[in-house]
Amino acid sequence: MAEREGVIVGIAVHYLIPWTYDLKPVVWLKELYVTEATRGMGVGHALVEQLRQHALSIGASAIKWTVLKSNSPAKAFYRSLDGQPDDIWEPWQLKIDP
């Protein structure tokens, strides 16, 4: 969570996945949100850096997340953090229809 003058301006919701691929946990970034008024002020970078430090402290092998294909601003932001698309795994889903 990031605060500015006592107001929450950003959150990084995450959870851990025990990963059988390399036997190290993976930190899954479920949601990264920064208020529009504080975007471009380093809030997102600070949140991801806190998450990176947490991942390092628990011996995680990676931080993983998904990005909507059409969300170019998010992709540019993640690239500025040295993030990159996963070239090994592809997202799949099983839709549950009533």
Asked if the structure places residue 97 within a domain, the reply is no
Q: Please report the pLDDT score of residue 93 as a whole number.
A: 87
Asked if residue 88 is part of any domain, the answer here is: no
Q: What is the CATH number of the domain that holds 65?
A: 3.40.630.30
Structural domains in the chain (count): 1
Model confidence, pTM: 0.86
How far apart CA 63 and CA 77 sit, in angstroms, is 15
Two tokens at 21?
Answer: 């691929």
Distance of alpha carbon 21 from alpha carbon 57, whole angstroms: 20
In the numeric block, which tokens belong to residue 93?
């889903």
How far is residue 9's CA from residue 1's CA, in Å, rounded to a whole number? Answer: 8
96 lies in some domain: no
Give the pLDDT means over successive 10-residue stretches in the chain (98 positions): 95 92 92 96 97 96 94 95 92 87
Domain region containing 60: 2-80
Whether 92 is in a domain gets the answer: no
Q: Give the span between the Cα atoms of 22 and 88, in whole angstroms.
A: 14
* Per-residue pLDDT at 45: 97
- What's the CA gap between 98 and 94, in Å, rounded? 13
Distance CA 97, CA 18 (A): 29
